[in-house]
Amino acid sequence: LIRAGAFDSLHANRAQLIASVSLAMEAAEQASANALQAGLFDMGDAPSQGHELVDEPEWPEKKKLQEEKAALGFYLSGHLFDAYRDEVRRFVRQKIGELKEGRDKL
């Protein structure tokens, strides 16, 4: 889900989220182990505390798209071609959707 971008609205750096999965699993196991233990002076639910993420640089756009493709089987947030779109537009003026059937005579 992280590779596909499902958590981008929570935190945009997918590399940090992937690197922090093991920390989240440890925290969940610890919380589960402590769930049934109550102290003499406990007043109910303890406030939720935030956890730090592993410091990882953000993936470049190409890596992000490759991870989406590996996870989903298709590109979701863009395409690898997008990086070369402006360069290709200098040589090819017409979009594929605008092509007409037939053959141009030279």
Would you give the DSSP letter of residue 20?
T
> Does 97 have pLDDT greater than 60?
yes
Distance CA 16, CA 39 (A): 35
How many Å is the Cα radius of gyration of the chain?
24
Residue 44: what pLDDT? 58
Distance CA 65, CA 75 (A): 6
Kindly report, residue by residue over 7-64, the tens digit of the pLDDT: 888 888 888 888 888 888 888 788 777 777 766 666 655 555 667 877 888 888 888 8
Kindly report, residue by residue over 77-92, the tens digit of the pLDDT: 888 888 888 888 888 8
Give the distance between the most distant pair of CA atoms in the chain.
Answer: 91
Give the list of residues 6+ apart from residue 71 with CB closer than 8 angstroms, or none.
1, 3, 4
Q: Where are the domains of the chain?
A: 14-98
